[in-house]
Structure 1
Amino acid sequence: MISEPEKWSNLEEIAEHLGVSKDTVRNWIKKGAIPYRKVGKQYKFKISEVDAWVNSGKSAEIE
């Protein structure tokens, strides 16, 4: 059985998923904290990678 590849999420979707503002996500991007990819001028995220980042406790280490 072949599973569908995970879709990429945009900045607005990931902010909603995490329950934070888009500015908070932008600050994490600037600090290189949150896992993301840049596609052109847009930031893209895999929810599974972001969830793993949160579950690892690294999100709590951001100042």
Structure 2
Amino acid sequence: MEQLKVELPKEVTDAIKTEVIKAFQDAKDDTRGKKFPLYMSKRQTCEYLGIANRTLDEWLKTGDIPYKHIGKTYRFNRNDLDKFMATK
């Protein structure tokens, strides 16, 4: 059986690739967002960043990492952490 080969214009194939990549990224972001809430505890933050609690404590002491301190509780905004890690 002979197969028919159709070539699409480069603009069309580029647009398809862009949309497929965007769909995968959106799906990944949705999954990650469900596991890690927008505002995280110290434990969740360590897991999210893949670092030890000791490392997070050092970053807190130096003031390097963005956080909110409410009473005795620390909260870390996931979006701020992403920006922070992009500069590390």
Could you say which TM-score interval applies, normalised by the shorter chain?
Answer: 0.7 to 0.9
Regions of 4+ moved over 6 Å: none
The answer to whether the aligner puts 1:14 opposite 2:45 as a matched pair is yes
Rg: which structure is higher? 2
The residue aligned with 2:70 is: 39
Question: Which letter does structure 2 place at the counterpart of 1:14?
Answer: T
Distance in 2 between the 1:7 and 1:29 partners? 19
The structure carrying a bigger helix percent of its residues is 2
C-alpha deviation, 1:52, in angstroms: 0.5
C-alpha deviation, 1:53, in angstroms: 0.8
Higher relative CO (CA 8 A, sep ≥ 6), structure 1 or 2? 1
Residue 30 of structure 1 aligns to a residue whose secondary structure is helix
**Unaligned ranges ≥5, structure 1:** 1-5
Kindly provide the CA deviation profile for residues 8-38 of structure 1, in whole angstroms up to 9, marking residues without a partner as x: 1000000000100111101100000000010
Computed over aligned residues only, the root mean square deviation of the Cα atoms, in angstroms, reads: 1.2
Aligned equivalent of 2:83, options 47, 52, 56: 52
**Unaligned ranges ≥5, structure 2:** 1-36
TM-score (norm 2): 0.55
